[in-house]
């Protein structure tokens, strides 16, 4: 295989020296808003980006660099960077090295060459990721780090743009200026991804309604996705007539045309506060990445034809045509930058690397935020807020009502809390959990979204970039799976890949778990939380009754507000309206809201009912409710002295509190409403054996590995009062039962 970087290098020098250059724009510099000095500056950003791409491959061959998806062919995006402000937050495509280089020139004191080479070398001194990944990112440059950026960053860009207008309505500037713009770049192949299509649709939906959304979607169209060509004209045909989005096109090979068009886009979005789509035509050079053998799917003629349109050649032509630089001076700058990159690289590769697991994991948990305490509303404010509910507040009530009141209190205390989700506005949600909140706080704080979970979570991630504290709602746990990468690949990784410089704190309310009969089926009865527990750094909380729900929700918001955590608050749907425990109208599962507020629940605290040592039932959510039902039979009919431990916090597990509660007991029954395989019970069984010398006899009972049916059969595969009693008696008698247990 031929050395394409070397061929490109030699072609540039030969063609510039011979003045054998492609035709470029004849637009006068003044008409494009450019000066000769700015033209040279943008060109040098292109050169630095190119030589970093070349040298990353050299370093990789030496085992000193580890990521070679480069920007070659896309360097025209440097002109886009030059047209916008540093404070216009940019969510960048991985081929936007030239953009970042150009933006750095607007911020004195930035050493972008050193910083990017530290990133290439995976040094722990890399100022953005600390050696965890080769990412384009910078806190001072308002560039949050992206990793693979195959469309997954588009939803949060929509959210960040939305946050600007929301903060304006709050009369609060936030992190981003009130007249700011959000930029989001991606490739033509990524435009076809369902996540991109969802974000574009949301942008169109909002723009069509003239909702303020200062967002520029930048599609860098090089005509190929790894090895699959993009149909000619596809991007234009897809986006040219999109409702609510103004379409612009620029020739990304020509920095004069690109800069002129980018300035038009900037002026339109800055003034109109409406979204735009900037379609930048470009090429891809040197294949997808270092490991991509493009000769296996492209002919030599196709590769050479593409290389003939190297954007550096077009820029050289512009410099010659406008009398800015001679061929000799162009080559001199080109070679000087190459030498500089090579010299600095030799120093960068010597810098320290991550060497311990502790070092690697240090940024999973974000730093605490200073001065983030909630305000204390006056008695009159609170009385006015609850004026319609004063009578109900004085009585014990259900979980749904207590969560509603807790949300109202939290929104009163924290004016940056914003709720978003499907039907949560005037309707109050599927189960009326958010009823009256829209009327009390307005549509800018209780936002009805379109039906798209990726949008809901993306909006929240983006809003959290701008000093808002989002509480999104996912209607059912099963619906999360449409959008789980927004939680796994975006929200949870931001602190990790930025060393805590960027965070997106939020509390994601998810209605879920099983035991519904009237509104059931597996799409509404989802009894698996493995996908959430598998994400490092994410907190998973699950209350079992209204009093716990109110206290835990307040703690979850505190964790987001003060500790910048991403929290999932899992609400058991079957317990929303539960009033009774043992018999009709006993009201033993109703709780007093005001009393609940006086008993705060702290992160990692478990709840314990009873102090018996013969048996400990370890459980959560619906399992705690069912275990309380089983307790009556086990104590009254079998005289078993037991305790029931409600874990509350499912990830990370409150291991110390669990061990302390379990240790005095001779038998432990784990009651897990999730499925046998992949459930929390597997982890608990292992941890108890690992952490307790001479562990007690342990048994677990969980749901069958099965989806949940509708109607009367809805609970057949799940643990129930009877099966808990049977499993407890078997455990105490030394027998084993395999019925819904393992």
pLDDT on residue 519 = 66
The architecture CATH gives domain 379-597: 3-Layer(aba) Sandwich (3.40)
pLDDT tens track for 524-563: 888 999 999 999 999 999 999 999 999 999 999 999 999 9
Rounded to whole angstroms, how far apart are CA atoms 389 and 279? 53
Q: Which of 102, 75, 112 is nearest to 258 (CA)?
A: 75
Contact between 35 and 29 (Cβ < 8 Å)? yes
b/e map 74-87, b = 16+ CB within 10 Å: bbbbbbbbbbbebe
Planar angle of CA 109, 464, 97, nearest 5 degrees: 40
Q: Is the pLDDT of residue 739 over 60?
A: no
Instruction: Please give the Cα distance from 680 to 510 (Å, whole number).
Output: 18
Q: Are 397 and 404 in contact (CB under 8 A)?
A: no
Helix (H) or strand (E) run with residue 554 in it? helix 546-563
Encode pLDDT of 386-431 as tens digits: 998 988 888 999 999 999 999 999 999 999 999 999 999 999 999 9
- Alpha carbons 301 and 281: distance in angstroms, whole number: 21
pLDDT of residue 1: 53
Q: State the DSSP H helix or E strand holding residue 250, giving kind and residue range, or none if neither.
A: strand 246-251
d(CA 540, CA 652): 7
Contact 506, 560 (CB under 8 A): yes
Task: Please provide residue 390's backbone torsions phi and psi, each rounded to the nearest 5 degrees.
Answer: -60, -40
Phi, psi (deg, nearest 5) at residue 654: -80, 70
Q: What does the pLDDT average to over 22-44?
A: 96
Q: Which of 620, 616, 619 is nearest to 634 (CA)?
A: 616
622 pLDDT band (50/70/90 cuts)? very high
- Angstrom distance (rounded) from CA 290 to CA 293: 8
In this structure, of 15-19, 382-386, 410-414, the range with the lowest mean pLDDT score is 382-386
- 516 contacts 574 by C-beta, under 8 angstroms: yes
For residue 255, pLDDT beyond 70: yes
Q: Bigger pLDDT: 713 or 280?
A: 280
Say how many C-beta atoms besides its own lie within 10 A of residue 198's C-beta: 22
| DSSP single-letter state for residue 557 | H
- 570 CB neighbour count, 10 Å cutoff: 23
Task: Indicate where the chain has its CATH 3.40.50.970 domain(s).
Answer: 4-361, 379-597
- Give the Cα separation of 71 and 572 in Å (integer): 48
**CA 110/CA 104 separation, integer angstroms:** 6
String of DSSP letters for 685-718: HHHHHHHSSSPPEEEEEEE-SS---SGGGGGTTS
Q: 635 burial class (0-12, 13-18, 19+ CB within 10 angstroms)?
A: middle
Is 256:29 a contact under the CB 8 Å cutoff? yes
Higher-pLDDT residue of 525, 16: 16
Distance, in Å, from the CA atom of 257 to the CA atom of 236, rounded to the nearest integer, reads 17
Residue range 484-498: mean pLDDT, rounded: 95
* pLDDT on residue 741: 42
Quick one: what percent of the chain has pLDDT higher than 90? Answer: 90
Residues 6+ apart with CB under 8 A from 342: 55
607-733 under CATH 3.40.630.30, yes or no: no
With cut-offs at 50, 70 and 90, classify the pLDDT of residue 740.
very low
| pLDDT, mean of residues 695-703 | 96
652 prior amide bond cis, ω within 30: yes
Of residues 506 and 292, which shows the higher confidence score? 506
Residue 500, pLDDT > 50, answer: yes
CB under 8 Å to 56, separation ≥6 — which residues?
65, 67, 68, 70, 120, 290
pLDDT at 654: 97
CB atoms within 10 A of CB 534: 12
Work out the angle at residue 201's Cα, subtended by the Cα atoms of residues 199 and 202, and round it to the nearest 5 degrees.
65
Is 146 in contact with 136 (CB distance < 8 Å)? yes
List, in sequence order, every residue forming a beta bridge with 279; answer none if it has no partner.
219, 249
> What pLDDT band is residue 438 in, cutting at 50, 70 and 90?
very high
The pLDDT confidence band at residue 609, using thresholds 50, 70 and 90, is: very high
- Is 736 a residue whose pLDDT tops 60? no
d(CA 339, CA 331): 12
Sign of CA dihedral 38, 42, 48, 51: negative
Domain 4-361 = CATH 3.40.50.970: yes
pTM attached to this predicted model: 0.95
Could you give the CA distance from residue 50 to residue 113 in angstroms, rounded to a whole number? 12
pLDDT of 320-371, one tens digit each? 999 999 999 999 999 999 999 999 999 999 999 999 999 999 999 999 998 7
List the beta bridge partners of residue 511.
Answer: 571
d(CA 673, CA 623): 6
Query: Dihedral through CA 161, CA 162, CA 165, CA 167, nearest 10?
Result: -100
Give the pLDDT mean for 67-95: 95
The answer to whether the CB of 544 falls within 8 A of the CB of 646 is: yes
Which stretch of 299-313, 396-410, 505-519 has the lowest confidence by average pLDDT? Answer: 505-519
Annotate 325-390 with three-state secondary structure: CCHHHHHHHHHHHHHHHHHHHHHHCCCCECCCHHHHHCCCCCCCCCCCCCCCCCHHHHHHHCCCCH
* Residue 676 near residue 705, CB atoms below 8 Å: yes
Per-residue pLDDT at 171 exceeds 90: no
The C-alpha atoms of residue 213 and residue 241 are separated, in whole angstroms, by 18
Task: Say how many CA atoms lie within 13 Å of 346 toward its Cβ.
Answer: 5
Q: What is the mean pLDDT of the chain?
A: 94
């Amino acid at each position: 295989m031929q050395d394409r970087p070397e061929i490109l290098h030699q072609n540039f020098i030969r063609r510039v020296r011979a003045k054998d250059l492609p035709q470029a724009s004849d637009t006068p510099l003044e008409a494009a808003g450019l000066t000769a000095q700015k033209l040279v500056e943008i060109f040098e950003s292109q050169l630095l980006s190119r030589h970093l791409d070349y040298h990353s491959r050299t370093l990789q061959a030496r085992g000193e660099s580890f990521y070679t998806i480069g920007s070659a062919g896309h360097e025209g995006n440097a002109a886009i960077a030059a047209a916008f402000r540093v404070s216009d937050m940019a969510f960048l495509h991985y081929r936007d090295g030239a953009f970042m280089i150009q933006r750095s020139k607007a911020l004195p004191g930035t050493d972008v060459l050193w910083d990017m080479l530290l990133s290439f070398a995976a040094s722990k001194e890399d100022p953005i990721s600390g050696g965890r990944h080769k990412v384009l990112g910078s806190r001072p440059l308002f560039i949050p780090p992206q990793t693979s950026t195959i469309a997954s960053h588009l939803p949060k860009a929509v959210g960040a743009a939305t946050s600007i207008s929301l903060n304006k309505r709050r009369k609060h500037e936030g992190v981003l200026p009130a007249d700011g713009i959000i930029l989001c770049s991606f490739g033509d192949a990524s435009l076809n991804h369902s996540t991109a299509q969802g974000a574009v649709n949301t942008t169109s939906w909002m723009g069509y309604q003239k909702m303020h959304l200062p967002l520029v979607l930048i599609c860098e169209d090089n005509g190929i996705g790894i090895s699959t060509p993009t149909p000619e004209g596809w991007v234009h045909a897809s986006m040219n007539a999109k409702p609510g989005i103004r379409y612009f096109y620029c020739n990304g090979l020509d920095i004069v045309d690109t800069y002129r068009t980018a300035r038009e886009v900037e002026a339109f979005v800055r003034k109109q506060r409406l979204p735009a789509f900037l379609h930048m035509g470009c090429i891809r050079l040197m294949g997808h990445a270092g490991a991509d053998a493009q000769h296996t799917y492209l002919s030599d003629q196709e590769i050479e034809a593409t290389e003939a349109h190297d954007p550096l050649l077009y820029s050289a032509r512009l410099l010659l045509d406008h009398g800015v630089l001679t061929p000799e001076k162009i080559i001199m700058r080109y070679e000087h930058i190459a030498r500089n990159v090579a010299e600095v690289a030799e120093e960068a590769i010597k810098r320290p690397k991550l060497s311990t697991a502790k070092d690697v994991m240090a940024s999973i948990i974000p730093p605490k935020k200073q001065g983030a305490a909630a305000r204390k509303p006056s008695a009159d404010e609170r009385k006015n807020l609850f004026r319609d509910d004063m009578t109900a507040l004085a009585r014990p009530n259900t979980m749904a009502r207590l969560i509603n009141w807790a949300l109202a209190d939290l929104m009163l205390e924290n004016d940056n809390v914003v709720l978003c989700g499907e039907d949560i506005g005037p309707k109050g949600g599927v189960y009326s959990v958010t009823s009256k909140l829209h009327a009390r706080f307005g549509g800018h704080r209780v936002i009805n979204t379109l039906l798209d979970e990726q949008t809901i979570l993306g909006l929240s991630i983006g809003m959290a970039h701008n000093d808002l504290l989002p509480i999104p709602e996912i209607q059912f746990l099963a619906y999360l799976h449409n959008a789980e990468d927004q939680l796994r690949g975006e929200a949870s990784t931001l602190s990790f890949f930025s060393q805590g410089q960027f965070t997106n704190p939020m509390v994601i309310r998810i209605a879920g778990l099983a035991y519904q009969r009237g509104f059931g089926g597996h799409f509404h009865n989802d009894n698996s939380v493995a996908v959430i527990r598998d994400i490092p750094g994410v907190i998973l909380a699950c209350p079992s009754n209204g009093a716990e729900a109110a206290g835990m929700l307040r703690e979850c918001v505190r964790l987001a507000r003060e500790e910048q955590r991403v929290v999932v608050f899992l609400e058991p749907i079957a317990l929303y309206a539960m009033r009774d425990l043992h018999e009709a109208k006993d009201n033993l599962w109703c709780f007093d809201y005001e009393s609940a507020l006086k008993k705060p629940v702290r992160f990692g605290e478990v709840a314990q009912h009873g102090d018996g040592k013969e048996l400990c039932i370890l459980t959560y959510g619906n399992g705690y409710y069912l275990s309380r039902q089983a307790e009556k039979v086990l104590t009254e009919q079998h005289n078993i002295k037991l305790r029931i431990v409600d874990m509350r916090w499912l990830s990370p597990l409150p291991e110390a509190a669990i061990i302390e509660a379990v240790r005095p007991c001779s038998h432990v029954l784990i009651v897990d409403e999730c499925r046998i395989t992949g459930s929390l019970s597997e982890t608990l069984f292992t941890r108890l054996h690992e952490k307790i010398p001479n562990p007690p006899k342990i048994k677990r009972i969980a749901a069958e590995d099965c989806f949940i049916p509708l109607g009367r059969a809805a609970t057949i595969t799940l643990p129930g009062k009877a099966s808990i009693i049977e499993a407890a008696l078997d455990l105490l008698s030394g027998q084993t039962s395999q019925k819904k247990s393992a």
